[in-house]
Chains A and B, each alone.
Chain A
Amino acid sequence: MSEIVERAVKEALREGATEAHATLRQGKTCEVELEADSISRARWSSSRTLTIYAIVGKRIARSSTKDISEEGMKRVVKNVVKMARASTENPHWSGLPHLRPYPEVKDIYDKRVESLDVSEVVEMAKLALQEVKEYDVRVLVMQGGISTSSSEVHIANSNGVLASDKFTSLSIIVLTVAKEASEIGSFAYEYQVSRKLDIDVSEVSREAARKALESLGAKPVKSFKGSVILDFDVSSLVFMSLAQAYNGDNVWKGSSPLRDKLGRRIAVEDLTVDDNGIMPGGLGSSRFDGEGSPRQRTVVIERGVLKNFINNTYTANILGTEPTGNAATILSVSPTNVVVKRGNYELDEMIEGVGRGLLVRRFSGIIKFQDGIVSGVAKQAFLIENGKLVHPVKECMISGNLYEMINNIDAISKEIKVKGVNVVPMLRVKEVSIIGK
């Protein structure tokens, strides 16, 4: 299938583009969905998209099509070159990347996932429903699903880049809610995603049930300032937002407060964060990125000091640095696997050190990288008093600032968990405003 991307690049040049890049993605997914304690539907789909960038001087356009016949390809090439001509020059454009050697990345494709039959996926869904009911009859599976996919990507550009890669993934998500008498708890969820056939359906389902159940009997609390322990899912949100702040695209555009902080301390000394695009089995791992540059591991924050931004060729050129294999596309940048170094604390020890505070397992709100505003509702949250969990809380908001919070981390957990593309520990942050009744 890599011939079509090569031909598309040639065709674009023939139509008058000075540079061209083509990507073909195709894949298949099979999904069994859950709803109201039952399988609700089984789905299968096959898709493919041919995307072409045409650059005329410094005028750039991107078009895509589902029709990958020779005529379909020619039509989309004509469209994209026409669109590029109608656009204005991008003064920052400095050219597509050249071919560089790609790393080997382990465990991003598993034949066993690709060859799973729908009957096996149905069995997993059945197990998930059983596990939740066996854990506690008060817990209902609201929504959920088990999904398997296999995909391949082929890219080519006019500077000689030509490469292919293939991936698989298997994921489970279970959304639960607990009901007792007239009380409906706050919904809870648990999920796992893997590139291999190694997700633990039972563990995910039981954890989803446990989380839903433990939020029953929630009570409001009075407002106070105290320590907040962020469970893996919430910690993951913090690092997702922070990743936007060290994203080279937001740095050069001036919207990141970290833009002039390279080499400076921005967080506590215990905080070390890598962007690792070649982590074995990583959901964000691949051999090459969206523009055809090799993936790599980049140290972003080392012992609290900001070491690097993440970039593609376009943003790296503007910032006067080297690309880090973080191209989402030739114009946009995205993190790969955000890997945070583990700390020294057990959860018990983190709780013991709190006079008055909250353990937060789900957070529904905003964490804005532009100004660092953190504001939202603590869901699945528990009051901590004198080093002990007291009761679940409701109608309770958290307010603070991301950039102050990373300087107020006073404990990082020993345990780390993979949460999608994030590999994160739990965090304890001091002096956070908790707004209650």
Chain B
Amino acid sequence: MASEFLDLLDKAVKEAIKLGAEYVDARLEQRTETRVSVRKGYVESSGIDVIRGFGVRALVNGSWGLSSTDKVSEKAIMDAIKNAVKLAKTSSPVRSRKVKLADVETHEDHVVAKVKVKLGEVSVEEKVKEVLEADEALRSYSPLIKDDRVFYNDQTFFKAFVSSEGTNVIVEGCRVYVRVYSTAGEAGVLSPAYEAIGGVKGFEVLREGEHLEAAKRVAERSVKLLKARVPKGGVTTVVLDNKLLALIVHEAFGHTAEADLVLTGTVLTNKVGQKIVSELVTIVDDPEPMNANGWTPYDDEGVKARKVIIVEDGILREYMQTRETAMALGMKPTGNARAQSYAHPPIVRMRNTYMLPRDWKPEEIIEETKEGYYLKGAMGGQADANGEFMFGVQEAWRIENGELREPYKGVTVSGNALAVLSSVDAVGNDLIIGFPGTCGKFQMVPVDGGGPHIRCQIRIGGR
């Protein structure tokens, strides 16, 4: 399909320049997605969706016009081009600052994600069977499991990008994403648990049994927490596991280092070169590794993506950028411009964001903690541009004299990201990058994150 579509994109770009655009890029995308959702041993819903469309972005007099259509015909595409140019022209007089784009190298490339088992080679029958097995593993764990859900989603994607500057890039690949939910119940008490696995991977994720292990872990956690109490609130010493740290690094800290938000004002605005958190903290946003859910070899502006060292030994080094924000801040583009689909504009988004490990063994961190909580996993929450955040924690254990005591549930953590990351006094050696998720900042994009175990001070909410 590639050559036929690239010709169409090329034609569209040339037409926009003819109509008066100073810059234009065009994207074409096709995704085939398979869904299977299972509950109580039967398939509740399943299906195959094919999403296809074209989007164009035109810059006229320093103003953006965007247009998209899911009719992929020459006429529909030419209409979309005309619309984009008209929108840019109409809104130009009300733009206070004219858009300029930072220079980037142009590329011609075709990148295909390497996976072991391509999704197209797996029958729908096998997909259904594996999801049913995960559900069975979950339900057979305990008669206390009252509700169960296993959602399987896979996606084969093809994205083509052409710009008026001469960039011409195709990125192809596939993703697998499995979510497992369990609710245990006893004596009127319900206890939910959740986990997601996957990434830019093929069906090997299921053939190797990762979904079955996740199902067992989730079942175990929901049952274990039935008898847990809700703790008292207050600021306390905590050990965070890789997953909860990943969420804090992404949601509470990462967003404040996105250049579009930096421009409107975050806690990191004008702080490059300053010490902002503990010198034990180094945080990066990485387009790699290839199997992580946020894999981005080229971003949706056709920029070759590179690793961004946001914080190095506690010092703020860099923000994540699009070409537009890089120009506005006098910095370099990073390849962080991502769009949910052909119909969405690329904006600054994270890819795979994680804290680098140091030298503590995770069990040593707990052994060396006199009093506090060990917090594991995350469920929902929100964060602000001033770094304030609140997240739900899946599982909490009280630590006393270096040992784990009783479990707690219904715990939330909150505070200011910079204050929490400044209080870090131990960083583990156990880096995990593998917490796939979908980040919503006006648009949904796949991301990943990670980090080691760490110890810090945080506010706990409970009763």
B48 touches A37 (CB 8 A): no
Q: Are A63 and B49 within 8 A (Cβ)?
A: yes
Chain A residues positioned under 8 Å from B80 (CB to CB)? 44, 46
Stretch of A6-14, A300-308, A340-348, A365-373 lying at the B interface: A365-373
Question: Is the Cβ of B45 less than 8 Å from the Cβ of A331?
Answer: yes
How many chain B residues have a CB neighbour from A under 8 Å?
A: 83
Q: Which residue of chain A has its CB nearest to the CB of B87?
A: A42
Tell me, yes or no, whether B298 is within 8 Å of chain A by CB.
Answer: no
Contacts A64-B47, A83-B48 known; A43 to B388 CB distance under 8 Å? no
At the interface, yes or no: A115 with Cβ under 8 Å from chain B? no
Which residues on B sit within 8 Å (CB–CB) of A67?
A: 50, 52
Residues of B within 8 A of A187 (CB): 384-385
Q: Which residues of A contact B68 (CB under 8 A)?
A: 43-47
Q: Find out whether the CB atom of A366 lies under 8 angstroms from the CB atom of B462.
A: no
Q: Is A377 within 8 A of B84, CB to CB?
A: no
Q: Using a CB-CB cutoff of 8 Å, which residues 187-243 of chain B contact chain A?
A: 189-192, 230, 233-234
Q: Report which of B125, B147, B345, B392 forms a contact with A43, defined as CB distance below 8 A.
A: B345
Stretch at the interface among B92-100, B358-366, B431-439: B92-100
Within A17-51, the residues touching B (CB, 8 Å) are 32-33, 35-49
Chain A residues near B19: list those with CB within 8 A: none
A185 vs B192: C-alpha distance in the bound complex, in angstroms? 35
B463→A83 contact, CB < 8 A: no
B window 399-439: CB within 8 A of A: 410, 412, 414-416
Judge whether B70 and A48 touch: CB under 8 Å.
yes
Interface-located stretch among B155-163, B166-174, B263-271: B263-271
**A433: Cβ under 8 A from any B Cβ:** yes
* A140 and B94 alpha carbons, distance in the complex (Å): 16
Of B58-66, B111-119, B306-314, the one with at least 4 CB within 8 A of chain A:
B58-66
Contact of B96 among A37, A62, A366 (CB under 8 A): A37
Query: Could you tell me if A42 and B384 are in contact, using CB atoms closer than 8 angstroms?
Result: no
CA separation between A257 and B71, bound complex, in Å? 46
Question: Chain A residues near B233 (CB, 8 Å)?
Answer: 223, 397, 399, 433, 435
Which among B185, B385, B414 is the interface contact of A254 at CB below 8 angstroms? Answer: B185
Which residues on B sit within 8 Å (CB–CB) of A223? 233-234
Q: Would A377 and B414 be within 8 Å (CB), given that A62-B45, A177-B385 are in contact? A: yes
Q: Are A177 and B95 in contact (CB under 8 A)?
A: no
Name A43's closest neighbour in chain B (CB-CB): B66
Are A253 and B147 also in contact (CB < 8 A) when A42-B65, A88-B132, A186-B384 are? yes
CA–CA, A47 to B43, complex, Å? Answer: 30
Assuming A125-B94, A364-B382, A399-B233, is B84 touching A44 (CB within 8 A)?
yes
Q: Which residues of B contact A375 (CB under 8 A)?
A: 390, 392, 410, 412, 461-462
Binary B-proximity of A169-180 (CB < 8 A = 1, otherwise 0) = 000000001010
Q: Number of contacts between A and B (CB, 8 Å)?
A: 231
Q: Which residues of A contact B266 (CB under 8 A)?
A: 184
Stretch at the interface among A74-82, A197-205, A228-236, A350-358: A74-82
Chain B residue numbers with a CB within 8 Å of A407 are: none
Task: Please indicate which of the listed interface residues B47, B71, B388 has the most CB atoms of chain A within 10 Å of its own CB.
Answer: B47
Q: With A62-B47, A397-B414 given, is the CB distance from A41 to B66 under 8 Å?
A: yes
B128 at interface by CB-CB < 8 Å? yes
Give min CB distance, B57 to chain A, whole Å: 8
A36 and B264 contact, CB distance less than 8 A: yes
Write out the residue numbers on chain A whose beta carbons fall within 8 Å of the beta carbon of B52.
Answer: 66-67
User: Shortest beta-carbon distance, A280 to chain B, in Å?
Assistant: 30
Which of the four size classes fits the interface of chain A?
35 or more
Q: Is the CB of A397 within 8 A of B84?
A: no
Q: CB-CB < 8 A to B345: which residues of A?
A: 33, 41, 43
Chain B contacts of A257 at CB under 8 A?
190
Name the residue of chain A whose CB is nearest to the CB of B269: A184
Contact A371 B410 (CB under 8 A): yes
Tell yes or no: A255 within 8 A of B by CB: yes
Q: How far is the CA of A325 from the CA of B330 in the complex (A)?
A: 55
Say yes or no: is B183 at the interface (Cβ < 8 Å to chain A).
yes
Quote the shortest CB–CB distance from A387 to chain B (angstroms).
27
In the complex, the answer to whether B147 meets A87 with C-beta atoms within 8 Å is no
Known interface pairs A143-B264, A177-B264, A397-B233. Does A44 touch B87 (Cβ–Cβ under 8 Å)?
yes
Assembled-state Cα–Cα distance A371/B186 (Å): 12
Specify which chain B residues have a CB less than 8 angstroms from the CB of A44 in the assembled complex. Answer: 65-68, 80, 83-84, 87
The docked-state distance in angstroms from the alpha carbon of A89 to that of B412 is 40
Interface presence of A417 (CB below 8 A): no
Contact of A101 with B by CB under 8 A: no
Asked whether B304 is an interface residue with its Cβ less than 8 Å from the other chain, the reply is no
Residues from chain B with a CB closer than 8 A to the CB of A394 are 388
Task: List CB contacts (< 8 Å) of B26-68 with chain A.
Answer: 36, 39, 41-53, 55, 63-68
Cβ of A161 within 8 Å of any chain B Cβ, yes or no, is no
CB of B69 closer than 8 Å to a CB of A: yes
Neighbouring A residues of B76 by C-beta, 8 Å: 46
Chain B residues positioned under 8 Å from A41 (CB to CB): 63-66, 91, 345
Is residue A126 contacting chain B, with contact meaning CB distance below 8 A?
yes
Residues from chain A with Cβ under 8 Å of B94 in the complex: 38-39, 122, 125-126, 129
Cβ of B124 under 8 Å from chain A: yes
Give the distance in Å from the alpha carbon of A65 to the alpha carbon of B147 in the complex. 32
B132 to A, closest residue via Cβ:
A88
Contacts of B260 in A (CB 8 A): 35
Task: Given contacts A38-B97, A45-B68, list 15 more A-B pairs with CB under 8 A.
Answer: A33-B345, A42-B65, A66-B52, A80-B48, A87-B46, A90-B44, A118-B91, A119-B90, A122-B90, A125-B91, A126-B94, A365-B412, A368-B192, A377-B414, A399-B461
- Interchain Cβ contacts under 8 Å between A and B, 24 examples: A39-B63, A41-B64, A41-B91, A44-B83, A45-B69, A46-B76, A47-B69, A48-B70, A61-B46, A63-B49, A87-B128, A91-B42, A142-B261, A184-B265, A184-B266, A373-B230, A375-B412, A376-B461, A377-B390, A379-B384, A394-B388, A395-B416, A397-B390, A397-B414
A-B pairs with lowest CB-CB distance, top 7: A42-B87, A87-B43, A41-B64, A364-B382, A62-B47, A38-B96, A435-B233
